[in-house]
Structures are given as structure tokens and as C-alpha cells.
Amino acid sequence: MIKIFIVLKNVSKIYGEERTTIKALDMVDLEIEKGKIITVMGPSGSGKSTLLNIIGAMDKPTSGEVLVNDIEIGGLPERKLSNYRKTQIGFIFQNFYLLPNLNVIENILTPLVPYRIKEKDRKKAQEILEIVGLGDRANTRVSKLSGGESQRVAIARALINDPKLILADEPTGNLDTETGKSIVETLIKLAESGTTLIIVTHDPRVVSLVAKHPLGKSIWIKDGQLSDQATYDLDCWDD
Ligand SMILES: Nc1ncnc2c1ncn2[C@@H]1O[C@H](COP(=O)(O)OP(=O)(O)OP(=O)(O)O)[C@@H](O)[C@H]1O
Ligand SMILES: [Mg+2]
């Protein structure tokens, strides 16, 4: 049986006030099944990051409901939301947000910093580093890494808490074609082992790679509204 993990019902997000309001999300309905790989594509400013932030409980909708495992998270206290983020979600940000003066392993361990870091955590960080192909860079300072290597560290950091859901905001945005492809392949492998994956992307090649996968699904967003089909010419971004 297919299990629904996340449901958005009539979700809107409005920024600003009165005359200058922006509808970043406009009555969005969405169901995310466990284990799926979803790409979200749409023009700049269409609401993609807002959508990820709301799904990851980094931001609250202006109206509508967000259900995670059938629980409406809008009503939860901050303590529970923070627990949800910590235990269920792995974020991969477009700009990495790595700490340049720490080494690779220390960066991967940052989500665990509120807790005492144990030897087994370091071992796990090292194992994850092997998965993303950076096994020999554990002690390198992050400021010395290339864009692709930094993105891999950001992925490794998102995996340290065994997330059920990975939210990736343009994970290939700053990478060359080859590196971008291998990053997406790494993410797809994670989904194959049961993690649900949402990838925001500007790259039609990422959408096409995911669409060919049996777990893949593509959604499009424009002016804060979702669609199952591309409502515009994909080629216009292909530069
Ligand atoms: N904190 C904020 N305050 C005011 N407006 C905001 C805020 N965050 C986003 N917006 C506006 O909401 C709309 C959607 O923004 P969002 O960041 O979700 O777009 P996006 O699809 O991720 O764009 P991009 O591809 O450029 O990253 C935009 O018009 C943006 O200017
Ligand atoms: Mg964005």
C-alpha cells in the first residue's frame, strides 16, 4: 500500500502587507508519497524555496494545513517542530551553508552539535563521506574544497540524522554537468533505499533523469501554483 507522508491542503503563503503583498504560494494542494523522488521546477520567484521551507517546517503557511504522517503540524509547539526537523528532515541548501573554517567531518556533524558527539557519530560521518565519494577528504578544511565537493559535504551533512525526507534546493545549481549528474545519482540511490526526496531544480536534465525513474515524479510551479505538467517551454532555461 502506498503511504502518504506529507499532505498540503490549500496552503498559501503571503509575504508583505496590504498593497505590496506577494503570494509566494497560492492555494497549493499536494500529496507526497513515502519513497518518491519529486522534482519541482519553475521560474525564479515562483515559490519553490517557500514550498520546501513550509514542508520542512522552517516557515509557516499564512493559511492552509500541512500534515506529516496525518498530524497537522501547524498546531505543534516549536519544541515538536524542531524535533520534526531534526529527526525527519535533511536539508540541502543551494548555497551549502557550510562552515568554512571547520573540516569536512566537523561540518557533517554540525546537525548533532546540540548533543554530545560520540565516536560512533564520527564513524557514521566517515561512512556517509564514502557514499558521497569524499572518503579521503575528512580532515580537509571546507574552504579548500571545490563547489562540487562542497555540495557533497552538504549532502553528507543532510544524511547524518537518517532523514526520512530530503529537501534539496537546487543541489546542482553551482555545479558542472558531470558533477551535477553524479550528485543527482547519489540522491536517487538514497531514495532507492527508502528516503523520500524533493529536489528543486532549474535544470531540465535533472527533471528528465528523475522522470525516467520508477519512483520519479515531476511537478511544476508558476506564480505559487502547482501543476503536474510543464505549462511553459522548458528550453527557455536551457542555457
Ligand atoms: N522573506 C520574504 N519576504 C518577502 N518576500 C519573500 C520572502 N521570501 C520569498 N519572498 C517572495 O516570494 C516569492 C517566492 O519566493 P521563493 O524564494 O519561494 O522563489 P523561488 O521559486 O525559490 O525562486 P528562485 O528560483 O529564485 O530561488 C518571490 O516573489 C519572493 O520575492
Ligand atoms: Mg529558491
Render each residue's pLDDT in the chain as its tens digit; 239 residues: 668 999 999 999 999 887 889 999 999 999 999 999 999 999 999 999 999 999 999 999 999 999 999 999 988 999 999 889 988 999 998 777 889 999 999 999 988 877 788 899 999 999 999 888 899 999 999 999 988 899 889 999 999 989 999 999 998 887 778 878 888 888 898 889 889 999 999 889 999 999 999 999 999 999 999 988 776 555 554 44
Which of the ligands is closest to the CA of residue 93? 2
What is the number of the ligand 1 atom nearest to the C-alpha of 51?
Answer: 18
Which sequence spans correspond to the domains of the chain? Answer: 4-24+35-232
- CATH number of the domain at 4-24+35-232, please? 3.40.50.300
pLDDT score for 239: 44
pLDDT score for 3: 86
Q: Which amino acid is at 115?
A: Y
77 class by beta-carbon count within 10 Å (0-12 exposed, 13-18 middle, 19+ buried): exposed
Pocket test for ligand 1, best of 39, 46, 93 (most atoms within 8 A of CB): 46
Reading the block at residue 186, the C-alpha cell is 547519489
Are the beta carbons of 99 and 176 closer than 8 angstroms?
no
Distance CA 133, CA 101 (A): 21
Distance CA 210, CA 187 (A): 10
pLDDT score for 218: 94
What is the number of the ligand 1 atom nearest to the C-alpha of 200?
Answer: 22
Pocket test for ligand 1, best of 19, 22, 219 (most atoms within 8 A of CB): 22
Write the CA distances from 111 to 38, 114, 156, integer angstroms.
24, 8, 11
Q: Which amino acid is at 150?
A: S
Write the CA distances from 61 to 38, 73, 116, 159, integer angstroms.
21, 11, 33, 26
* Greatest extent of the chain over all pairs of C-alpha atoms, in Å: 55
Q: What is the pTM of this model?
A: 0.89
Nearest CA, atom 29, ligand 1: 45
Pocket test for ligand 1, best of 25, 49, 91 (most atoms within 8 A of CB): 49
User: How far apart, in Å, do the first and last CA atoms of the chain sit?
Assistant: 41
- Residues 149, 94, 73, 82: what is their CA dihedral angle, to the nearest 10 degrees? 50
